[in-house]
Structure 1
Amino acid sequence: MSDLKKMYTTILGDSFPMEMTLSFGDQTLIYRKRTWAIPMEDGTVDERGLRYGENPDQEAALYELVNGNLLLGDCKFIEPGNALVSGIKVEDMLQVGKHPGKINLTDVDNGLNIIKYLMDKPAAVILKHNNPCGAAIGATLADAYNRANRADRIAAFGGAVVVNRPLDKATAELMSQNYLEVVCAPEFEEGTLAILAKAKNLRVIRMDGIKRLADFERYRFVDFKSLIDGGIIVQQSAVNAIRSAADLKPAVATWKGKEYLCERQPTQQELDDMIFGWAVEHGVTSNSVIYVKDGCTVGIGTGEQDRVGVAEIAVQKAYIKYADITCFDRFGIPYADMALEVEQGKRAAADKAEIDAKVKNDRAGLPGSVMISDAFFPFRDAADVGIREGITAILQAGGSMRDYASIEACNEANPQAAMMFTGCRAFKH
C-alpha cells in the first residue's frame, strides 16, 4: 500500500518535446509544452509539466497553441492568445497542493465547457472524471456552490470546482467543509486563500480568462480522437445552439397520417431549466439523461448504452444522493454510515426508517423537475420513467420515428407534462 501511495504522489515526468507542430495541408499550428517551476518541500525548484496522465504509469504533456490560424471550409478555429487551462502559469497556482495531473486539468476544462453557457448568473460546476456531479446557478456564488454540492455530496468528494465569479469568503467556507482536489475561479477575494489553505493538497487556480468565458461560445477547436492503431479522427468541436426559449421547437410529430402535438406548454421556469439543463448536457458523457430543477441538477445519468437505462440510473442516483444529504442534514453523517451502524446494532433502526420515509415521500426531490435527454427517445419508455417520478417537462432532440409515442406519454400523464424539441443532439464521447 505504501508503494501505491508513493506512486500517486510521484511526478512521473515526460519525454514529449517542448514544441509540437501540426500541419493541415498548407496550414500549420504550433504548440508549446507547458511546464511549471514549482518550489518543492525540500527547498528546491522542480520544473516539469504534468504530474502524469490518467494513471501514474502514463506520461502526459500539456500543450498551448502559440502560433497559426486555422481555416477549414467555412470554419475559422480558435486562434492563439486565448489559452485557458493550457495557459496556467506558476503565479496562477495560488496554492499548488500536489503537482497537477491530466485528470485535474481535463476536469477543469470540462467545467469551463459547461460554465461558459452560464455566465449571466453566479454558477458553480463540480466535476469528477470529466463529468459534472453537480451544477447550479444561484442568487450568490455561495448559493450556487452550495446547491451544486448538495446535489451530489458523495461524488463531489475529491472533485474539481469551477466557478464564474470571484471567490468570496462565504463560498470558501463552504468549500472548506468538503475534500476537493481543485478550485478554479477568475479571482480570489481577500481572506479566501487562508480559508482554503486548511486543505494543504488542494490546488487553487486563478484563471483570469473566466471573465471573458462567454466569448468562447463562438469558438471552435479541432477535436482529436486517437485510435489504437495510431490513427486519428478529427472533428470540429460542438457548439450549443440552444441559448434561449426562442431556439426551442414545439413537440410535433406525424404518424400514419395523424398529427400529434404536446398539449401542455412549458412554464417560464421549465423553459429556464431546459436552457440550463441543455448547457449542462454539453459536458455530460453520452448517452445521457439528466434531471434539473430551479437551475440545479437533481440527477445525472451518464454514458449508458440505452436511453431508458440511463433515465432509470439518473433516477436511482437522485434517490441515493437525496438520502445522503437528508441524512447528513438530520444526523450529521452520510447515509451509508448510518445504514452500516444500524446493521451493526450501533444505532436504532428508526433513524434509518425516518430518512427512508422522507426520501420516499419527497420522491428524491424529482417532482417538478425537467428531464433533459441529449438525443431523441427511440421509444416512449424513457419518457415514462421521468413522468412516473413526477417530472413536469421534457426537453429532447426529437427526430425519432416514434416521437408521437413520447408526445402521447406527456399528454396521457396526470397532470400533463410539457415537451419541447431542440432539433439537434448534444452527444459527447
Structure 2
Amino acid sequence: MPTALLSVSNKTGLVEFARALVAEFRFELVSSGGTARALGEAGVPVREVSDYTGAPEMLGGRVKTLHPKIHGGILARRDQESDRQDLQAQQIEPIDLVVVNLYPFEDDPRIEQIDVGGPTMVRAAAKNCAFVTVLVAPAQYESCLAELRRNGGVTTLPFRTACAAAAFERTAGYDRAIADWFASQPVQTPQVLPARLHLDLQQVQPLRYGENPHQAAAWYQSGTTPTGWSTGRILQGKALSFNNLIDLEASRRLVAEFTDAPAAVIIKHTNPCGVAAAQTLSDAYRRAFEADSVSAFGGIVALNRPCDAATAEQLSQTFLECIVAPAFEPEALAVLAAKKNLRLLELADLSAAPVFDIKPISGGFLVQQPDPPVQTTADWKAVTRQQPDPETLAELLFAWKVCKHVKSNAIVVAHRHCTLGIGAGQMNRVGSARLALEQAAEKAKGAVLASDGFFPFDDTVRTAAAAGIRAIVQPGGSLRDDDSIRACDELGVAMVFTGLRHFLH
C-alpha cells in the first residue's frame, strides 16, 4: 500500500484530493496538526504523525515531522539494498507522495511563520524524485490525479522531475522572502538599501513581443502573492502588450500624485501629453484631451476616480489604447463596450508603488528608492520680489507634480490645473522650454512653468517671461541662481525654489 504524507497550510482542495488518493489508489495517509484534523472531520482515514513516528509533537508544534521515520521514509533509495536494509532495521515505511505547502510567510512575515519542517520535507522529497512525488501547491492536485490514473496508480519520472523543479523553486522563493524580511529589520546601522537584493519573480503571462516584434517578452510579478498590476482586472479589450504595461505604469505613477480632486492623465510613450484636475472627472478628461488632442490619439488614459458615463462618452470619441481607473460604473462600461479592442483595466489601488526602481546595466542592476509623491509646498522658498499668492502656489504645485513624470530635461507649462505645453527629453533646458511654450502658444500668458532641474543660465527665465509666464518653480541650486533671480525681478516673474529636483531618465 503506497503512503502519502500530507501537511498543508493552504487547505484548498485538500479533502477532495485526499479522498481520491484513498478511494482510487488505496493510499495510506499520514498527517499532522490542522491537516489531520481537517481530514478526520471530513471522514477521510488518516494517521497522525505522532502515532506514525511514536514521538509526540513538541515545543508548541515546532517539532513534529522532524523525525527519522519521516525523513528516512522520504529519502530512502528503493534500488539500493543498503537503504532497504536500513528501513527494515528501523521499521520505517517508504513514503511515496509528499504533499506540503508552507506557512504563508509572504502574507504574514514574522518569526513563527517561518516553516522549518515543511521546507525540509519538500527538499528531501525533491532530492529523491527518482522515487518520490512532491506537490507544493493545490494547483498540482488535479494533474497528479490524472498522472496516477494514466499510469495505474504510479507517477512517471518526468512528472516527478517536473514536480521536483517546482518544489525547489518554491523553497528558493520562500527562503528569499525570509532573507529579505530579515534584511529589512532595524539594526544598529540601518541601510537604506539592502546589501544583497533577491528578485523572486513569477511569470504572470507571456507577451506577444517586447518593445519591438523581434524581442521576446513576458510579464512577471514579484513574489507569490499578486500585488500592483497583477491584482488588476481586465474588463475588455485585446491582451496587454509590453509597451502598454510600460505606459500604464507611467500613467499610474502620475495620476497617483492627485488625490484631492478628480484628475485625468493621458500618456504617450511614457510621457504625459495632457494632464488636468477639475471638479468633475469628465471635465478633467476633456481639458487633458484638449491640452494636446493630436498626441492623445492612441494614448493611455489614467483616471483617479471611478469612470462614469459622462467621462466614458468623451473617452469613446477618440482612439485610445488603454484606460485604467479604480472602477468603471456599469453605464460607463455600456458606453465603452462599442470599442471592442479598447483595453479597460480596473486597478483599485492606484497608489501601490514598487518597493524599488530597478534598471539593468551590463553585469548587474542599478537600484534606487522610488521618487515619492509630491504633497506640499511647505518647504518651498520664494526667492523673488514678486511673491506667489496661494492660488499661484497651487498652480505651481500642479505643474511640479506633472513635471516630475516628464523625461528630463523637462518643462511643463500649466494654467488652472491643466497642462498647456510639455517639453520632454531635450538635450538642453531652454530647448524643452521653447517646445512647451510653443505648444502653449497664446495660452502661456498668465500661466506658470515648472522645470525638473535648476537653471544654469537666465535664458529659460527670459524665454518664459517673453511668452507671458507669471511664475516659475524649479529646484534651485545652480552656481548662477542669482542671474535667474535678477532676471525674474527685472521682468516681474515670481519664482520659487523647491530644494528638490525630479530627474527622470
Using the size of structure 1 for normalisation, the TM-score is 0.71
C-alpha change, 1:176 and 1:377, in structure 2 (3 Å) is same
Contact 2:382 2:494 in 1 (8 A): no
Match of 1:299 among 418, 421, 438: 421
Distance in structure 1 (CA, Å) of the matches to 2:380 and 2:404: 16
Counterpart AA for 2:216: E
**By how many angstroms is 1:245 displaced?**
2.4
Higher RCO (C-alpha 8 Å, min separation 6):
1
Match of 1:274 among 396, 409, 426: 396
Contact 2:324 2:346 in 1 (8 A): yes
Query: Which residue is 1:56 aligned to?
Result: 213
Query: Which residue is 1:351 aligned to?
Result: none
Contact 1:220 1:239 in 2 (8 A): no
1:423 equivalenced with 2:499 (yes/no): yes
Query: Which residue is 1:323 aligned to?
Result: none
**By how many angstroms is 1:221 displaced?**
2.3
**By how many angstroms is 1:27 displaced?**
5.8
**By how many angstroms is 1:123 displaced?**
0.4
Q: What per-residue deviation string (whole Å, max 9, x for no partner) do you get for residues 284-333 of structure 1?
A: 111111101111101000011111111111112334xxxxxxxxxxxxxx
Distance in structure 2 (CA, Å) of the matches to 1:25 and 1:61: 28
Distance in structure 1 (CA, Å) of the matches to 2:455 and 2:337: 47
Could you list the runs of 5+ residues in structure 1 that have no partner in the other structure? 1-16, 36-48, 68-79, 252-261, 320-362
Query: Which residue is 2:379 aligned to?
Result: 247
**By how many angstroms is 1:282 displaced?**
2.1
Give secondary structure in 2 for the equivalent of 1:209.
Answer: coil
Distance in structure 2 (CA, Å) of the matches to 1:304 and 1:153: 22
Q: What per-residue deviation string (whole Å, max 9, x for no partner) do you get for residues 350-392 of structure 1?
A: xxxxxxxxxxxxx1x1111111000100000011111111010
C-alpha change, 1:268 and 1:25, in structure 2 (3 Å) is closer
Give secondary structure in 2 for the equivalent of 1:243.
Answer: coil
Which moves more between the two structures, 402-411 or 134-143?
402-411
Query: Which residue is 1:389 aligned to?
Result: 467
Query: Which residue is 2:201 aligned to?
Result: 31
Query: Which residue is 1:404 aligned to?
Result: 482
C-alpha change, 1:58 and 1:239, in structure 2 (3 Å) is same
1:206 equivalenced with 2:206 (yes/no): no
**By how many angstroms is 1:98 displaced?**
2.1
Contact 1:126 1:133 in 2 (8 A): yes
**By how many angstroms is 1:198 displaced?**
2.0
Larger Rg: 2
% identical equivalent positions? 42
Give secondary structure in 2 for the equivalent of 1:247.
Answer: coil
The correspondence of residues 209-288 of structure 1 with structure 2, limited to 5 A, is: 209-210=349-350, 213=351, 216=352, 221-227=355-361, 229-240=362-373, 242-251=374-383, 262-288=384-410
Counterpart AA for 1:52: Y
Query: Which residue is 1:93 aligned to?
Result: 234
Counterpart AA for 2:265: V
Could you list the runs of 5+ residues in structure 2 that have no partner in the other structure? 1-165, 181-193
1:369 equivalenced with 2:501 (yes/no): no
Contact 1:289 1:311 in 2 (8 A): yes
**By how many angstroms is 1:201 displaced?**
1.4
Which moves more between the two structures, 52-61 or 168-177?
52-61
Distance in structure 1 (CA, Å) of the matches to 2:455 and 2:380: 17
Using the size of structure 2 for normalisation, the TM-score is 0.60
Give secondary structure in 2 for the equivalent of 1:287.
Answer: coil
Counterpart AA for 1:407: I
C-alpha change, 1:291 and 1:407, in structure 2 (3 Å) is same
The correspondence of residues 305-316 of structure 1 with structure 2, limited to 5 A, is: 305-316=427-438
Distance in structure 2 (CA, Å) of the matches to 1:27 and 1:380: 43
Contact 1:269 1:294 in 2 (8 A): no
**By how many angstroms is 1:136 displaced?**
0.6
CA RMSD of aligned residues (A): 2.1
Contact 2:382 2:388 in 1 (8 A): no
Counterpart AA for 2:299: G
Query: Which residue is 1:149 aligned to?
Result: 289
